[in-house]
Amino acid sequence: MTDLNQHVTYKEGHAPKGSRSCDKYDQEVLANIEKVLKEVEEGKFTPNGRDDVLARAIGRPEHPGRLRGVPLQVGVAKYYGTTGPKKKKRKAKAEKADMVQLLASVILKMNSGGKPSEEELKMMEDGGWRMSLKGVRYNR
């Protein structure tokens, strides 16, 4: 996570300047930001990810894939940190590699006249593979 704070840039962009005044909504949000900052100082609220000071002040969580009060060059992943769906893909690839290795060992045993162990057959069944007289088949 970067050290940018959405509420700070929101305040800078929406605070009254010179002859320009705030509309009623901005006044409410700016007042709420101060209240939430006081809660943070008192330890009543800890900003975490999308539930940060600005989201709490506005009164609704930030939509996924969207940032308020942050320059365009700062993306969602850069601000909040990356998410973890890549880990699932890695796990699936590892499981697939393990299954291929298991199938290869079973096929080698069968080609040499041997018989797969009960443990190997169970692992194949759990992975969705079935043995038959015609060979090995995937059933999912």
What pLDDT is stored for residue 52 in this prediction? 83
The whole-angstrom separation of Cα 123 and Cα 48 is 41
pTM over 0.75: no
pLDDT at 47 exceeding the cut of 50: yes
Domain boundary assignment for the chain: 6-80, 85-138
Q: How confident is the model at residue 39 (pLDDT cuts 50, 70, 90)?
A: very high
Q: How confident is the model at residue 37 (pLDDT cuts 50, 70, 90)?
A: very high
Looking at the chain, list the stretches that DSSP marks H as alpha helix, in order from N- to C-terminal side.
6-14, 24-42, 53-58, 76-80, 85-111, 118-126
pLDDT at 140 exceeding the cut of 60: no
The whole-angstrom separation of Cα 132 and Cα 9 is 66
What pLDDT is stored for residue 69 in this prediction? 67
The whole-angstrom separation of Cα 70 and Cα 6 is 6
pLDDT at 40 exceeding the cut of 80: yes
Place of tokens 């305040």: 11
Token pair recorded at residue 86: 């890549």
pLDDT at 92 exceeding the cut of 60: yes
The number of C-alpha atoms within 13 Å of 133 and in the hemisphere containing its C-beta is 0
